[in-house]
């Protein structure tokens, strides 16, 4: 079920340079959401018609938190909103990390579901927080940042074993998250990741090396956000049932895909 709500902002704050959070009070969206799903956030200004798809960072009862980077006029507008103000949001959208299904798939192939490795890069960090909190197995999470502005790091430390990699070497491993995982010889039964495309390519290769599945969250420009307009497709190895071509909808069949099934 998808819901459209004019939601009140419970809290809005800045987490790092250009990175902001909003907590929404929702009627149905939070209750129905799972980690890895996203919501469409609509501008209050008529000239910006398209919703901004933003991943869900935390689900707490009726509260739903997004953490996003300001990349244009729409996200800039959101960043200036204050508690008590309202935004129209729609969701939960997409498949999310369907943990029971993933566990069953793994175990049906004789694999374990006892240890997970999570990768979050840049603005791909936030959705991994709800996932890390929901996973009731042992988790390591490798977070990649540009510099010392390690937003959400403390919260990850409450729910997982945290490893940091930074582009400038100011905190943790100097380099990318994959090299950090290799340096620490991090292994797992399953990998989850969200981040920029080069990172996801690295995750896909690393998972192949370890011989474990990787579930990655993809991003693409969207218009409707609900699977109708076919703007946000990704290339799939197999013919997609809905499209009858090798295109899956990131907003509907995704945003979470088995890395082995998509061309990235």
Partner 1 sequence: MSNVNLGVSLCGVDFKNPVTVASGTFGSGMEYSEFVDLNRLGAVTTKGVAITPWAGNPTPRIAETYGGMINAIGLQNPGLDTFLKRDIPFLKNYDTKIIVNVCGHSEEEYVEAVKRLADAPVDMLEINISCPNVKEGGIAFGTVPASAEKITKAVKAVAKQPIIMKLSPNVTSIADMARACEAGGADAVSLINTLTGMKIDINRRTFAVANKTGGMSGPAVKPVAVRMVYEVANAVNLPIIGMGGIRNAEDALEFIMAGATMVSVGTANFNDPLTTIKVVEGLEEFCDKNGVKDIKELIGCVK
Stretch that binds partner 1, among 128-136, 188-196, 204-212, 230-238 (CB under 8 A): 230-238
In the complex, least distance from residue 253 CB atom to partner 1, rounded to whole angstroms: 12
Question: One symbol per residue from 82 to 121: x for binding partner 1 (CB under 8 A), - otherwise; what is it?
Answer: --------x-------------------------------
Question: One symbol per residue from 50 to 69: x for binding partner 1 (CB under 8 A), - otherwise; what is it?
Answer: xx------------------
Q: Compute the distance between CA of residue 16 and CA of residue 145 in angstroms, rounded to an integer.
A: 11
Question: One symbol per residue from 192 to 221: x for binding partner 1 (CB under 8 A), - otherwise; what is it?
Answer: ----------------------------xx
In the complex, least distance from residue 31 CB atom to partner 1, rounded to whole angstroms: 17
The DSSP output letter for 194 is E
User: Which of residues 15, 210, 231, 264 is near partner 1 by CB under 8 A?
Assistant: 231
CB 133 within 8 A of CB 59: no
Residue count of the chain? 264
Going by C-alpha positions, the residue among 187, 122, 128, 183 that lies closest to residue 155 is 128
In the complex, least distance from residue 244 CB atom to partner 1, rounded to whole angstroms: 4
Q: Tell whether residue 70 is a contact of partner 1 (CB under 8 A).
A: no
* Three-class secondary structure of residue 260 per DSSP: helix
Q: Which two tokens stand for residue 8?
A: 């009140």
* Three-class secondary structure of residue 15 per DSSP: strand
Name the residue with tokens 């011989």. 211
Q: Do the annotations mark residue 54 as ligand-binding?
A: yes
Q: Which two tokens stand for residue 42?
A: 């609509």
Q: Which residues pair with 39 in a beta bridge?
A: 54
Greatest distance between any 2 Cα atoms in the chain = 53
Question: One symbol per residue from 1 to 30: x for binding partner 1 (CB under 8 A), - otherwise; what is it?
Answer: xx-x--------------------------
Q: Which two tokens stand for residue 240?
A: 């997609």
Residues that bind partner 1 (CB under 8 A): 1-2, 4, 42, 46-51, 74, 90, 220-234, 242-247, 252
């Amino acid at each position: 079920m998808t819901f459209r709500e004019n939601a009140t902002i419970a809290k809005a704050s800045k987490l790092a340079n250009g990175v902001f959070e909003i907590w929404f009070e929702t009627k149905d969206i939070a209750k129905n959401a799972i980690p890895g799903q996203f919501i469409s956030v609509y501008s209050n200004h008529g000239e910006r018609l398209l919703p901004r798809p933003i991943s869900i960072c935390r689900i707490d009862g009726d509260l739903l938190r997004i953490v996003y980077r300001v990349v244009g006029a729409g996200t800039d507008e959101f960043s200036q909103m204050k508690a008590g103000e309202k935004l129209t949001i729609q969701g939960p959208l997409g498949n999310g990390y369907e943990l029971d299904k993933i566990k069953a798939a793994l175990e049906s192939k004789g694999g374990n579901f006892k240890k997970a490795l999570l990768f979050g890069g840049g603005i791909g960090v936030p959705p991994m927080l709800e996932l890390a909190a929901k996973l009731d197995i042992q988790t390591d999470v490798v977070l990649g940042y540009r510099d010392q502005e390690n937003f959400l790091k403390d919260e990850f430390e409450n729910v997982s074993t945290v490893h940091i990699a930074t582009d400038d070497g100011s905190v943790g491993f100097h380099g990318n998250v994959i090299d950090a995982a290799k340096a620490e010889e991090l292994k797992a039964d399953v990998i989850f990741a969200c981040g920029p495309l080069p990172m996801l390519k690295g995750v896909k290769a690393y998972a192949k090396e370890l011989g474990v599945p990787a579930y990655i969250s993809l991003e693409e420009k969207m218009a409707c956000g609900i699977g109708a307009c076919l703007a946000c497709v990704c290339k799939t190895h197999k013919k997609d049932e809905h499209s009858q071509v090798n295109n899956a909808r990131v907003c509907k069949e995704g945003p979470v895909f088995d890395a082995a099934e998509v061309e990235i």
